[in-house]
Each structure stands twice: as structure tokens, then as C-alpha cells.
Structure 1
Amino acid sequence: MRTTRLLVTAVTAFAAVLIPATAQAGGAQPSTIAGGLNAPRGLAFAPDGALYVAEAGTGGSGPCLPGPEGGQVCFGTSGSVTRIGHHGQKRVLTGLPSLAGPGGANAIGPSDVSLQGNGGMYVTVGLGGNPATVRPQLPPAGQQLGLLLRNGKPAADISGYEVRANPDGGEVDTNPNSVEALPGGRAVADAGGNDLLWAGSDGRITTIATFPDRLVDAPPQLGLPPGTKIPMQAVPTSVVRGPDGALYVGELTGFPFQQGAARVWRVVPGHAPQVYAQGFTNIIDLGFDHGRLYVLEIARNGLLGAETDPSGALLRVDRHGPPQVVSQNLTLPGGLALKDGNAYVSNCGACPGPAGSIVRIRL
């Protein structure tokens, strides 16, 4: 079975009861600037300084269908985008598709937002499976799952491209999880497809890069003979343009979510991707501040142990030494934005219901 779904489908056993963690030892203390968010994920600043965050939602009353990793998820239009400014927070885009389990657990929906100029708000909407089997079970509003939207309207069918092209050659599986709006088009990381795509302003989609599987030791719980190797997929969850103009992509990695196995790729279109930094665990987002790369880990000690330790971490990459922990006082964070010497993080991005918040961390 292909194991490229976003983390929220990997925490099924405990997400329904998860609450934000209390402060732990390890780095800067976050301060909350917004709350009551439904599975907040990617976030970005607009030219006017407002902060926008994609909310995956809480699902709805149905129809219901089998979830990507078991159990049932039910459809609704509880996905949204919230704007956070000087005068508070407000949902500025609502009625977006969302799939979630009971209480809003394991939500799949709006996953990232990127602003271009004053009139372009681009949002990726996840799917977590094969659109040819998922979409026919859903009403018209559900057909936006797996799309890139511009101001709430379809801009590119990322999932349709996976069905047609399947760039990595594996099982058809799509989960658009990150978008970087750039002049002439948008770079999109498809966590399900294990690829980085370019969605041009004309709606045409092309492949920038694919990211390979690796053979790793099988975890003991599988009961396989010692030394058995199994494939672990890349699961690219984030894309950001660096100060050098290249695209940087972070890996969540697939099952068994090995600690220290996630990497950051540097991608120059037309060239093979190169590993830029490594030694991370379950990367969910990236960002640059004053030329320095910051990495957000959704589960600092690995997803397989997240039931007992849901702490995430923000790290700063030093090219001349190991990554430095900025803060470990985070709970399953879902997104990162950097501005004016501060990091803004979607905290409790995989928690059910309105438990999510945006926190600010002084760098």
C-alpha cells in the first residue's frame, strides 16, 4: 500500500483526543496571536502585512467514505482561509471542501496558501488518494479536492495531472500540500505523487522534479526477519523559493517515518534535484529569513511515537554544523511563515476541531 499521505492520516489512533501540549524544555517560548482554527496548515504573508492561513476544516455530515488509512471520513465544506491582521482574525474564504473523521479528526482539505501581488490568493486543497475513486463519491463541491485554487476558483487540476502523467511511476495517489506563487506560475509539492509540479498561468501543468524512494530497515512491529528492507517514500510536503532563486523542498518521508531521515532538496528546474540539508525528522514546512533556512518538523521524535510525544520543532540550518533548535514548544505544527525576525507557526495543525492556533516565535 502506498504510504504517502500527509501526517494527519498517520495519527488516527490519538487525534480524536489530542490537545495542545504544555510548554517543554527546549528553545524559545511561542506566543499565541490567533486561535479557534480548524486544522491550520500552511500560511503566508500578503503584501499589506496580513497573515493568511489555510484551514483543512472538520469535514461534515457526508457523504462518508473509507479514509486513506482506514476508518471513515465524512465530507463537508468546512475548509477555509483565515486572514489575521491588526484588527483581529476573520475567515475570508469559506465553503471549501474538507474530509475528516469524527470530531474533525484527520482532516484533509485546504493545505497551503500563497499570495501573489494584491489580487492572487492561491490555495492547495489536499485529497489523499486516487481521485478516480474518491471524487465520484462526492458532491460537486467535493470536486475541488486535489486542485490548486485562485481566489476560491479552480486554477489547476493537480490531481488530474497525477492520473494522466503519474510522474513518479508509482500507484496513482495525490495530495497537493504546498504552493509557492511565482511570476508566471505556481510551484506545487504533491505529497501523494512524490513530485514537484509547475502550474503555469495558463493552467498547464508540467513536472519539475520527482523524489525517489529509499530502502530502510523494516520496523519491528511488522514482524519481518531482521535486516529486511522496505521502501520509504519521500512525501514532499513543502516548497519555497530560496534567496538564490532555487526551489527548496522538504520531505515528510513515508512509513516507517524514520528519525533523522528527512531531507531538504534544492531544485533548479531543468536539473536533477540535489540534497541540500539532511538529518531531520518528518518535515512539514520550510522558510528563509535573512538568507538562513528554517525547518519545521511536525513530530520531533517521529510519527510512530507521536501518540505519546506529539511535540514538533522549529530548527535553524547552519551550513557549517548541525541544525540548531529554535523551539520545541509546539504540538504537531502544520505550517511556517517568517517575517521581521519572527517565525509564525500553525500550531496543533493535526488536532481535531477548533484547537488550532497561530503562534509567534522570536528568532
Structure 2
Amino acid sequence: MSRRLRTTTAVVAACATAALGLTTAVGASASTSRAATAAATKAWSQTLDDTVGAPFAIALAKGDVWYTDGAASTVNRIHHGKSMVVAHGPMPGEVAGLAASADGKSYAYTTTDYSNGATTLTIRTAGKAPVVADLSTYEQRHNPDGWRTYGIVKNESSDPQCARDVLGGLTGGEATYKGGIDSHPYAVASLGNGAWAVADAGGNDILKVDRHGRISVIAVLPPQPIMLTTEMVTAAGLPPCVAGVTYAFEPVPTDVERGERGMLWVSTLPGGPEDPSLGARGSVYMVNPWNHSSTRRATGFLGATDLALGSHGAIYVTELFAGKVSKLQNGRITTAAEISSPLSVEAWGGYLYVGSMGQIDQQTGEVKSPGAITKIRP
């Protein structure tokens, strides 16, 4: 079964998750979000750009701030205080993930073409021809999560057939299914030596793309099972027969960062509603690229759309639907900054660089009011 990939710009902010009423949760967030500025934060802040619609990713290199704008399908660079477009993606479509090499000579970004579903990673290096990796074709040929089981994995409902009918109807197929062919690359990290890691929110995996554009799998993230209680089902507006079902949601990776000793850190959405109806279920994983394993290190984030690695082991996580950037350190989660609709984050030199989402019409993709790139001292 193919998952339903959400491609309207506003919903892409939640990384195109599937099943169990995400439309309502995301729609509410996109239509009621405040102006995406640092006005909500109590920390020192400086607005670097207030013309961006959907800054899905931020990268820092050689004193410059790079970011993508999913609403405009562009890669942008702030140099000496001035923002400029350095690359364009497909229209209708988006540019989402972005990373730059440490020396600033190379950068890579992901694209999704809404007209045909084609997805790519483009690597640009000064003085060389661009390298384009065809991610969607790789997904079609290999489907790395095709062996994973999602949906109903245990059915203790009062009416099991009713539960199967309801949950199968929400996903447009079977209530229990294997991973389908689906690619929506959302984040990139530099691995060094010209290689890049890509978090594919549609494929539920972390891929490696080398300097020549060759693709391989680093890890497939695990399903996110949850037993649906009567309270959860009521809050989600679902029929009572769904209570008692254990449902394995898809993991939906939203960012990847390379940490110490080459370990990768990944943020995930839980593959279902991001409102509190099923609880705050966004997570942070550590991925070992040598044995392809993943270990969940923290959970409880409401809309974990991005993360950043700070000093002394600190990890910063955007909570899009909670209006804050959280700090994970020594197993403890605290609030680093309160800011409206935080979508992306990077950390450097004691500062956070946060991309906030603007108000976007889900039907037309029109930016009603812009978001911002903000530098914050938490």
C-alpha cells in the first residue's frame, strides 16, 4: 500500500505523515499560527530575514546562514546581512533539506517535484558540475522499509472488524500493511569526504549519497507502536471501536545531524496526529551507521521537525506545535526558547538560529504572512 504523502506547502511542514487524522492537526496549526517572529521568546534575539515562507532547513558555514524556503522552492544564503537566492527547485514543488560542508565549498539540498513525485539530492561544489542523485528512483527499485509492518499489529477492540475498516479507510488501504514506495527527502547532513546523509520522511529511512551520487541505506527507522485508549480515540474524533488497537505508525524522520564519533542524530514525527490527542510522541534517535541500528534516546516532543547539536552534548529540538525549541541534555528536556511555529534550528557559538513558519494557505500555497530566520541567545 502506498502511503498518502501530503504535498501542500503548509502540510509539508509536518513532513507528510500518514494515517489517523493528521490533516486536522496540521490544518489547525497552519491556519492559526501567530506571526512567525521571535516575539514569543524571552531570550535575546535578532531577526536575520523576515521574508521567508517555510524555512524547512538552516545551515551554517563560514559565517553565512543558509536556509531553504519550501514555499518559494529556493535555497537562500544570508551573506553580510543580505539574503540572496542561490538555487531554485521545481515549481510546483519544494526545496526542503539543506546542508553545507565545513569549508563552505559544497552544499547539498533535496527537492520534491509535486507534478510527478520525483525527488532528488543535488550536490553543488565550487568549480564542479552539479551531481544529482535520483532518490525517488532508488526508492522505487529498493523500497528499503518494504519489510516493515505498519498499521494494526494487535487488535483487542470490542469490534475488531470495525477497527480494521476505520483505520484502513483512513490510510486508503489495508489496516495492516508493509512499507510502501514513497519518497519525501526532508533533511541533509554532511558526512565529510563529499558524502551526505539524507533523512527521507516518506521512505522512513536515512540514506547515504556519495560524491558521485551513488545511494545506499544507512538505516531504516523502527515503527512507532501505540495502544489506542478510549481517551485517545475520543480526543481524535474516531469511532469507539478503535480503542484497544495497537497501531504501529511510520517513524517519519525529519532531520539528521552528524555527531561525535560519526554517530547520527535523527528527529522523527510519530506518523500520526501531531496534536496532543495521542500524546506528544515526536522522538530523537541515535543511529549507528556501521551496524545500521537506531536507538531512541528521547521522546515527548510535539512536532519534532528539526534538531541541532550544541556544545556539551546538548541537542536542540523544534516543537512546531508547541511553539518552542527544547533542549535535551543528560537525559533531561527543558525549554531553550519560546518562539512561534519553529520549523528549523541550528546551533553555533552559544546561539540558536531558528527558522519560523509563516501563515500559509493550505489550498493555494499562498504565504499570508511571512516567517523569519532568527538568531537567539538562549
Residue 287 of structure 1 deviates from its aligned partner by: 1.0
1:325 aligns with 2:341: no
Residue 241 of structure 1 deviates from its aligned partner by: 0.7
1:315 is aligned, of 318, 326, 331, to: 326
2:68 is aligned, of 54, 76, 88, to: 54
Q: Residue 355 of structure 1 aligns to which amino acid in structure 2?
A: P
2:260 is aligned, of 212, 234, 243, to: 243
Q: Which moved more, 1:244-253 or 1:223-232?
A: 223-232
Contact 1:56 1:98 in 2 (8 A): no
> In the aligned structure 2, how far is the partner of 1:51 from the partner of 1:155?
23
Structure 1 residues 114 and 349, CA, compared in 2 at 3 Å: closer, same or farther? farther
Which residue of structure 2 aligns with residue 115 of structure 1? 100
1:165 is aligned, of 142, 150, 153, to: 142
> In the aligned structure 2, how far is the partner of 1:236 from the partner of 1:39?
18
Which residue of structure 2 aligns with residue 124 of structure 1? 110
Residue 357 of structure 1 deviates from its aligned partner by: 0.9
Q: 1:131-150 counterparts in 2 under 5 A?
A: 135=116, 145-150=118-123
Which residue of structure 2 aligns with residue 97 of structure 1? 90
Residue 286 of structure 1 deviates from its aligned partner by: 1.0
Show structure 1 runs of 5+ residues with no match.
58-77, 100-107, 129-133, 136-142, 301-311
Which residue of structure 2 aligns with residue 342 of structure 1? 351
Contact 2:15 2:254 in 1 (8 A): no
Contact 1:113 1:121 in 2 (8 A): yes
Contact 2:143 2:203 in 1 (8 A): yes
> In the aligned structure 1, how far is the partner of 2:359 from the partner of 2:269?
14
Q: Residue 177 of structure 1 aligns to which amino acid in structure 2?
A: Y
Q: Residue 2 of structure 1 aligns to which amino acid in structure 2?
A: R
1:259 aligns with 2:279: yes
Which residue of structure 1 aligns with residue 306 of structure 2? 285
Q: Which moved more, 1:84-93 or 1:285-294?
A: 84-93
Larger Rg: 2
CA displacement 1:98-141 (0-9 Å, x = unmatched): 43xxxxxxxx511121112343120111357xxxxx52xxxxxx
Which residue of structure 2 aligns with residue 39 of structure 1? 54
Contact 1:27 1:326 in 2 (8 A): no
Q: Which moved more, 1:146-155 or 1:188-197?
A: 146-155
Structure 1 residues 8 and 286, CA, compared in 2 at 3 Å: closer, same or farther? closer
> In the aligned structure 2, how far is the partner of 1:259 from the partner of 1:27?
26
Structure 1 residues 183 and 26, CA, compared in 2 at 3 Å: closer, same or farther? closer
**TM-score with structure 2 length normalisation?**
0.74
Structure 1 residues 26 and 37, CA, compared in 2 at 3 Å: closer, same or farther? closer
Residue 334 of structure 1 deviates from its aligned partner by: 2.0
Show structure 2 runs of 5+ residues with no match.
7-11, 17-22, 147-178, 361-365
> In the aligned structure 2, how far is the partner of 1:243 from the partner of 1:227?
41
Which residue of structure 1 aligns with residue 224 of structure 2? 214
Structure 1 residues 198 and 294, CA, compared in 2 at 3 Å: closer, same or farther? same
Structure 1 residues 93 and 167, CA, compared in 2 at 3 Å: closer, same or farther? same
Contact 1:114 1:180 in 2 (8 A): yes
- Percent identity between the aligned chains? 29
Q: Residue 293 of structure 1 aligns to which amino acid in structure 2?
A: I
Contact 1:8 1:350 in 2 (8 A): no
Residue 342 of structure 1 deviates from its aligned partner by: 0.6
Which residue of structure 2 aligns with residue 223 of structure 1? 239
Length, aligned pairs only: 307
Q: RMSD of aligned C-alpha atoms?
A: 2.6
**TM-score with structure 1 length normalisation?**
0.77
Contact 2:41 2:337 in 1 (8 A): yes
1:36 partner SS? coil
Runs of 4+ in 1 over 6 A off after TM superposition: 22-26
Which residue of structure 1 aligns with residue 212 of structure 2? 202
